[in-house]
Amino acid sequence: MTGTDRLFLAISWAIGLCCVVFLMLPIVITVAASFTSSSVYTLPPPEWSLRWYRSLQERSGLWEAVTLSLNLAVVSTAISLVLGTLAAVAVARGRFRGREAIATFTVSPLMMPGLVVGVALLQFFREIGLRDAYWSLLLGHIVITLPFVMRTLLASMSAFDFSLVDAARTLGLSYPKAILEVLVPNLAPAYLTGGLFAFLASMDNYPISIFLTDARNKTLPIKMLQYLEEQPDPSLAAMSSGLILMAVIALVVGARTVGLNRMIQG
């Protein structure tokens, strides 16, 4: 290594470390701001306090929004895992043309602007006469979660040895049973990471949900933006910290079971 090489590398490291700080900044600021005793955002806070966490109980409609969001995230992720398993097995195992196209198509919602999908769904559901907000939201959230699940399942199934499934079948298991008892447990890491990212994407979605809600069915992100307009006190930082805690738990579970390196290989 020459001196110039070392200089290059040193600069890269300096920028890389700044990048780490930059990426963590909004998370750290939010958590720090949530423990303030003051009603404005000053850092460091004049005194540490839990008052904004206590005040969350008084926020009207917060609990309903949290349960609706959790419900949508769990149900849509579960449906996506089922649809995704079937489609990924077909792509990995089938002998027909257009398997590449199917793979691209099932991942493509990731590349489309969320807001445009929301607008399109709004008009489509109106056209076919679907008025129920919960069902509209659920269908929309399956479109959000399915590509996350497909991306990880497709990648892991292309490396999976399907002769294990065939062996299970010669031992007398039916095909669905062989998939459930041999393939799924073997691909547990892919199910976990795909499922986690799908769940988090559903919990966080705003641009699709905003077009599909009604006055009674508001998801958490929609409710948070509404609070922000009406009464932007540090209780919003407390809510955000709750969501950050959820992400930290997901990260720890993912890192423990599949490892950080595999989590980034969507």
Partner 1 sequence: MRRLEHIGLLALPGLTFLAVIFALPLFMLLLKSFQIDGQFSLEEYRLFFTDEYNMSVLWRTLRVAALTTILALLIAYPTAIAMSRANGIWLSIFLVAMVLPMSVGVVVKAFAWSIIFRTRGVLNDILLSLGIVDTPIRMLFTETALIIGAANVFLPFMVLPIYAVLRQMDSRLPEAAASLGATPVFRFFNVTLPLSLPGVVAGCAFVFSLAVSMYVIPSLIVGERQQTLSMLTARSFLYLRNEALGATISSILLIIAISVVLGSSWLANRLGSRS
- Residues 50-109 touching partner 1, rule: CB under 8 A, are 83-84, 86-87, 89-91, 93-96, 99, 102, 105-106, 108-109
Query: Which span (29-37, 53-61, 70-78, 182-190) binds partner 1, by CB under 8 A?
Result: 29-37
Site string for partner 1, 167-186 (x = CB under 8 A): --------x-----------
Query: Would you call 29 exposed, middle or buried from its count of C-beta atoms within 10 A (0-12, 13-18, 19+)?
Result: middle
Q: Using N-to-C axis directions, what is the helix angle for 220-230 and 188-204, rounded to 10°?
A: 30
Query: Which span (50-58, 59-67, 181-189, 201-209) binds partner 1, by CB under 8 A?
Result: 201-209
Helices (H), 158-187: 163-170, 175-178, 184-186
**Residue 135 interacts with partner 1 (CB under 8 A): yes or no:** no
**Least separation in angstroms between CB 192 and partner 1:** 13
**Least separation in angstroms between CB 164 and partner 1:** 15
Q: Can you tell me the distance from the alpha carbon of 194 to that of 258, in angstroms, rounded to the nearest whole number?
A: 11
Size of interface with partner 1, in residues (CB under 8 A): 93
CA torsion angle 17 205 228 64 (round to 10): -130
**Residue 127 interacts with partner 1 (CB under 8 A): yes or no:** yes
Q: Enumerate residues 211-230 that contact partner 1 by CB under 8 A.
A: 211, 221, 224-225, 228
Helices (H), 179-259: 184-186, 188-204, 209-212, 220-230, 235-257
**Residue 2 interacts with partner 1 (CB under 8 A): yes or no:** yes
> Quick check: 63 and 246 in contact, CB under 8 A?
no
Site string for partner 1, 236-255 (x = CB under 8 A): xx--x--xx--xx-xx--x-
